[in-house]
């Protein structure tokens, strides 16, 4: 597992200089992974640089000149709607969500030229999967099992963000989640800490480059620190309560990976962890992040998270939320947050308002305030803001600056690589489609642009952004025969319910509320030679504050599928959604299912590439797809029990109303238009010292008749440990492209970061004994184990 929360000496050591080499390997026969390591190992290679003395000196000099008031301004982070000229002149630290380059320059000029010390403002934005050129949602990108997909996304996103004057992005979001009800599962890389770590590190390195003062680079903020992905009941912002071992083995590793990759900012989370909110948590913010990991950047609070520390009604009774009940009033909340390790306060203004008083009362210390300011200034110097504070407005307003052909191509490739083929049954199988046959595209998402972008889609909808390509547009562009479109039922895009609250949204009304258009759909299907049904969730059904209590397709979409399937025509379902869905009815009626997630700007083109077989699908699920919502949380890397699930025996860990213990589709699962054989692993030794290394070689052969991609997956299991270990843990993966009949060998290196685990006293332990190694093409489709012994 490289790094994953273990101390800096725990990473797999591969040199970044070899990264380019690895890109050129991995696609043809022969040994895929040479000395540089597999793509996952390359992504995880630590690249954090020690602080430069020059910058430290500049920070010291500046800090020494600052008044207390100026320091308190520096720790303030305002929204686009809050910032005023007076704030800029007073020396406010940062501003987020302001994206008009003229306004950015306006406030920056005031800060640099009219504030006493001329400290530039850091402008930030949620560039999560693209700014104007939108890439697949992160859960989709994780399905590629390809860190180069995540890297391409953040490279383009950073460039387009920096063009308008933004220098910080609130990404990557690395919250491991076992909660499909939670809408924000779409923003991360799914249920596995290792996959999340690899994608996080790749995103950070791509956005920051080796020096984020470069004009096309930005500083990343990894979020939401920490364990935000496991809210009780799947409801956003809700309580998280977990053991130390689980926190460290599952939730912290992607943050550590992002920090080791160089991420210089972190966002603390809304949720309480074992009773203490993320932005008031000394243990996670200071003890682990800053002291244990040596993080010298800064932590900003999430939106009003400092105010939310208060009991209700809030004191003072301002417009900010309250509710965690760990602080009596605003000054107490400010003191708690700062002293726990939060360096910058988003939206609420308690430090700037009460800071002087808190210092006088000894409730916060000048040493800690100085530390917070020092961290913020350090990032501003590293970002080059003192040398280049302004944005080139003409360039920022030029439509030609965005959606450049190469970037659109990268988005299209990323989207196609992120799609997962879940089913393709029949003789002949319905996919790939035949471009010479007529096609009926049916369903609420078939000619839908906005939903293709998914949630948190930056400025992907505005006038300077390229238009999203719909599914039917993409298919028509590649078809030699007629492609018809029948929407069949409604789709309502409701982001904000009235008053943000009432009445609760009913997904049954938002998509396919009735069957009045089904006859037309059946006629269209009957008249065509091939049928594609575009089903899913609106993009408003996932992302922040969008939990669902059901995981099926909303509305009458399943009935629509069944009506169309009754025509006897083979039906291909393409799914656009932001969470794992419970799809037994879809799997029963559809002949083929392609999980497309929200593919981004190039959605229709990428989907057409895959549906016509121009691109052979090679994505794999980064999350378990359950059969029923009642079975969640359901995840592959669960711990064993004394009574493991068996559907045929009563006294065990099963559901009495389910005849199987298995999910519908497991983590790591995905089909292809070809077939592969993945060999059992070969180990270069059978025993190893705790600080030794084991090399694992896995052969993979394309046994079918067309070129395709396989993701070779390596899992470990510790069968006897002092605390129960997950039944399987992903510890290595490599996506390879092989021609028909071609073989290659993938090589992984295991070390102590893979052998051990964190225990409940916060210690990383490597215990003597056997470790099982599995290889395969999903978390269930694995070889027999090979073992080595730690001596
Ligand atoms: C979200 C963050 C986001 C912030 C700023 C919050 O509501 O939780 O993910 O970065 O808003 O937009």
pLDDT score of 17 more than 70: no
The half-sphere exposure of 580 on its side-chain side, counting CA atoms within 13 A, is 36
Q: 305 CA to middle of ligand 1, Å? A: 10
Burial class (CB in 10 A: 0-12, 13-18, 19+), 529: middle
Q: Across the chain, what does the average pLDDT equal? A: 94
pLDDT score of 32 more than 90: no
Residue closest to 534 by CA, chosen among 465, 608, 616, 457? 608
Whether the CB of 170 sits within 6 Å of ligand 1 = yes
Do 646 and 660 contact (CB within 8 A), yes or no? no
Whether the CB of 223 sits within 6 Å of ligand 1 = yes
Q: What is the predicted pLDDT for the residue at 24?
A: 31
User: Would you call 287 a catalytic residue per the annotation?
Assistant: no
Do 618 and 417 contact (CB within 8 A), yes or no? yes
749 beta partners: 695
Q: What is the mean pLDDT of residues 734-744?
A: 98
State how beta strands 729-738 and 687-688 pair: unpaired
pLDDT score of 35 more than 60: no
Residue closest to 593 by CA, chosen among 437, 728, 478, 425? 425
pLDDT score of 342 more than 60: yes
Residues 6+ apart with CB under 8 A from 43: 147, 151, 198, 199, 201, 202, 205, 261
Whether the CB of 237 sits within 6 Å of ligand 1 = no
Confidence of residue 264 (pLDDT cuts 50, 70, 90): very high
Confidence of residue 18 (pLDDT cuts 50, 70, 90): very low
Confidence of residue 21 (pLDDT cuts 50, 70, 90): very low
Q: 81 CA to middle of ligand 1, Å? A: 15
Query: Residue 86 belongs to what H/E stretch?
Result: helix 85-90
Residue closest to 289 by CA, chosen among 315, 318, 260? 260
- Supply the pTM of this predicted model: 0.95
Residue closest to 261 by CA, chosen among 109, 101, 154, 122? 154
Q: 321 CA to middle of ligand 1, Å? A: 15
State how beta strands 483-486 and 439-442 pair: parallel
Q: What is the mean pLDDT of residues 420-444?
A: 98
Q: What is the mean pLDDT of residues 663-676?
A: 98
pLDDT score of 308 more than 50: yes
Torsion over CA: 12, 13, 17, 21 (sign)? negative
The 8-class DSSP code of residue 343 comes to: -
Whether the CB of 126 sits within 6 Å of ligand 1 = yes
Confidence of residue 5 (pLDDT cuts 50, 70, 90): very low
* Preceding omega of 432 cis (within 30 degrees of 0): yes
pLDDT score of 621 more than 90: yes
E-strand spans in 577-673?
A: 592-595
Q: Whose CA is nearest to atom 10 of ligand 1?
A: 170
Closest ligand 1 atom to 187 CA: 9
Q: What is the mean pLDDT of residues 75-97?
A: 98
- Give the Cα separation of 661 and 459 in Å (integer): 43
pLDDT score of 104 more than 90: yes
Q: What is the predicted pLDDT for the residue at 506?
A: 73
Which of 267, 279, 459, when mutated, tests ligand 1's pocket best, judged by the most ligand atoms within 8 Å of its CB?
267
pLDDT score of 28 more than 80: no
3-state secondary structure at position 574: strand
Do 154 and 484 contact (CB within 8 A), yes or no? no
Q: 214 CA to middle of ligand 1, Å? A: 25
Among 37-46, 219-228, 303-312, 383-392, the range scoring the smallest mean pLDDT is: 37-46
The 8-class DSSP code of residue 213 comes to: T
Whether the CB of 302 sits within 6 Å of ligand 1 = yes
Which of 544, 545, 546, when mutated, tests ligand 1's pocket best, judged by the most ligand atoms within 8 Å of its CB?
544
E-strand spans in 662-740?
A: 676-678, 682-683, 687-688, 694-702, 708-717, 729-738
Q: What is the predicted pLDDT for the residue at 496?
A: 62
Q: What is the predicted pLDDT for the residue at 231?
A: 97
Place of tokens 């045929």: 648
Q: 165 CA to middle of ligand 1, Å? A: 19
Which of 302, 344, 459, when mutated, tests ligand 1's pocket best, judged by the most ligand atoms within 8 Å of its CB?
302
Q: Whose CA is nearest to atom 2 of ligand 1?
A: 302
Residue closest to 124 by CA, chosen among 75, 187, 167? 167
The 8-class DSSP code of residue 675 comes to: -
- Helix, strand, coil percentages (3-state) for the chain, rounded to 5, are 35, 15, 50
Whether the CB of 290 sits within 6 Å of ligand 1 = no
Q: What is the mean pLDDT of residues 486-504?
A: 73
- Give the Cα separation of 57 and 228 in Å (integer): 36
State how beta strands 30-31 and 743-750 pair: parallel
The active-site residue out of 87, 302, 407, 751 is: 302
Q: 302 CA to middle of ligand 1, Å? A: 6
Q: 220 CA to middle of ligand 1, Å? A: 14
pLDDT score of 641 more than 90: yes
- Give the Cα separation of 236 and 361 in Å (integer): 36
Whether the CB of 456 sits within 6 Å of ligand 1 = no
The string of pLDDT tens digits covering residues 236-253 is 999 999 999 999 999 999
pLDDT score of 548 more than 70: yes
Report how far apart the first and last C-alpha atoms of the chain are (Å, whole number): 19
The string of pLDDT tens digits covering residues 190-206 is 999 999 999 999 999 99
Closest ligand 1 atom to 270 CA: 8
Return the structure tokens found at 770: 């056997």
Whether the CB of 676 sits within 6 Å of ligand 1 = no
- Give the Cα separation of 604 and 245 in Å (integer): 43
Closest ligand 1 atom to 269 CA: 8
Q: What is the predicted pLDDT for the residue at 492?
A: 86
- Give the Cα separation of 11 and 2 in Å (integer): 4
The half-sphere exposure of 523 on its side-chain side, counting CA atoms within 13 A, is 7
E-strand spans in 607-683?
A: 676-678, 682-683
């Amino acid at each position: 597992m490289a790094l994953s929360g273990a101390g800096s000496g725990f990473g797999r050591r591969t040199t970044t200089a070899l990264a380019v080499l690895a890109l050129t390997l991995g696609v043809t026969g022969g040994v895929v992974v040479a000395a540089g390591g597999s793509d996952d190992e390359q992504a995880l290679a630590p690249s954090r640089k020690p602080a430069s003395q020059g910058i430290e000196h500049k920070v010291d000099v500046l800090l020494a000149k600052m008044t207390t008031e100026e320091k308190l301004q520096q720790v303030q982070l305002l929204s686009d709607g809050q910032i005023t000229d007076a704030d800029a002149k007073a020396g406010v630290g940062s501003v987020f969500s302001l994206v008009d380059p003229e306004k950015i320059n306006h406030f920056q000029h005031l800060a640099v030229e009219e504030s006493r010390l001329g400290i530039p403002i850091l402008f930030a934005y949620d560039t999560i999967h693209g700014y104007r050129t939108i890439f697949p949602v992160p859960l989709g990108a994780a399905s590629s099992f390809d860190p180069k997909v995540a890297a391409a996304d953040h490279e383009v996103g950073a460039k387009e963000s920096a063009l308008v004057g933004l220098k910080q992005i609130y990404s990557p979001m690395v919250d491991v989640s076992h909660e499909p009800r939670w809408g924000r599962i779409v923003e991360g890389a799914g249920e596995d800490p290792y996959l999340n770590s690899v994608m996080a590190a790749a995103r950070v390195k791509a956005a920051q480059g080796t020096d984020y003062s470069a004009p096309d680079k930005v500083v990343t903020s990894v979020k939401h620190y920490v364990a935000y992905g496991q809210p009780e009941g799947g409801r956003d912002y809700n309580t998280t309560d977990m053991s130390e071992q689980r926190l460290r083995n599952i939730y912290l590793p992607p943050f550590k990976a992002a920090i080791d990759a160089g991420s210089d900012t972190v966002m603390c989370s809304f949720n309480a962890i074992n009773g203490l909110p993320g932005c008031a948590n000394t243990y996670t913010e200071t003890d682990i992040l800053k002291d244990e990991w040596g993080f010298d950047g800064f932590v900003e609070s999430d939106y009003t998270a400092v105010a939310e520390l208060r009991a209700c009604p809030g004191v003072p009774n301002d417009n900010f939320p309250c509710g965690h009940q760990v602080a009596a009033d605003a000054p107490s909340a400010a003191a708690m947050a700062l002293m726990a390790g939060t360096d910058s306060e988003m939206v609420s203004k308690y430090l700037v308002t009460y800071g002087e008083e808190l210092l006088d009362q000894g409730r916060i210390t000048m040493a800690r305030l100085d530390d917070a300011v020092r961290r913020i200034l350090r990032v501003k110097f590293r970002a080059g803001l003192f040398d280049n504070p302004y944005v080139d407005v003409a360039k920022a307003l030029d439509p030609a600056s965005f959606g450049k052909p190469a970037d659109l191509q990268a988005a299209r490739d990323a989207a196609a690589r992120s799609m997962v083929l879940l089913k393709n049954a029949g003789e002949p199988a319905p996919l790939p489609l035949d471009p010479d046959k007529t096609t009926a595209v049916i369903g609420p998402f078939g000619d839908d642009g906005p939903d293709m972008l998914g949630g948190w889609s930056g400025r992907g909808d505005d006038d300077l952004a390229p238009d999203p390509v719909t599914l039917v547009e993409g298919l028509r562009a590649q078809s030699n025969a007629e492609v018809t479109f029948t929407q069949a039922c409604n789709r309502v895009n409701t982001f904000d319910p009235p008053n943000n609250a009432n009445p609760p949204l009913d997904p049954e009304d938002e998509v396919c509320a009735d069957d009045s258009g089904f006859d037309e759909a059946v006629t269209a299907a009957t008249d065509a030679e091939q049928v594609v049904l575009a089903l899913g969730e609106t993009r408003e059904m996932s992302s922040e504050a969008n939990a669902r209590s059901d995981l099926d397709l909303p509305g009458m979409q399943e009935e629509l599928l069944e009506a169309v399937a009754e025509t006897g025509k083979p039906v291909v379902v393409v799914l656009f959604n932001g969470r794992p869905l419970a799809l037994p009815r879809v799997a029963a009626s559809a002949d083929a299912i392609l999980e497309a997630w929200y593919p981004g700007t190039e959605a229709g083109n990428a989907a057409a590439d895959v549906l016509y077989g121009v691109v052979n699908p090679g994505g794999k699920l980064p999350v378990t797809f359950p059969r029923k919502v009642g079975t969640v949380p359901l995840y592959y890397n669960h711990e064993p029990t004394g009574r493991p699930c068996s559907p045929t025996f009563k006294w065990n860990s099963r559901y009495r109303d389910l005849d199987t213990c298995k999910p519908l589709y497991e983590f790591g699962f995905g089909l292809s238009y070809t077939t592969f054989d993945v060999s059992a692993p070969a180990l270069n030794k059978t025993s190893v010292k705790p600080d030794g290394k084991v090399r694992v070689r896995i052969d993979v052969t394309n046994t079918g008749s067309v070129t395709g991609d396989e993701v070779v997956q390596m899992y470990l299991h510790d069968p006897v440990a002092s605390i129960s270990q997950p039944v399987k843990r992903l510890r290595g993966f490599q996506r390879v492209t092989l021609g028909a009949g071609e073989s290659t060998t993938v090589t992984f290196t295991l070390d102590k970061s893979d052998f051990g685990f964190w225990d409940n006293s916060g210690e990383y332990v490597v215990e003597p004994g056997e470790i099982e190694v599995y290889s395969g093409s999903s978390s269930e489709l694995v070889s027999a184990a090979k073992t080595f012994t730690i001596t």
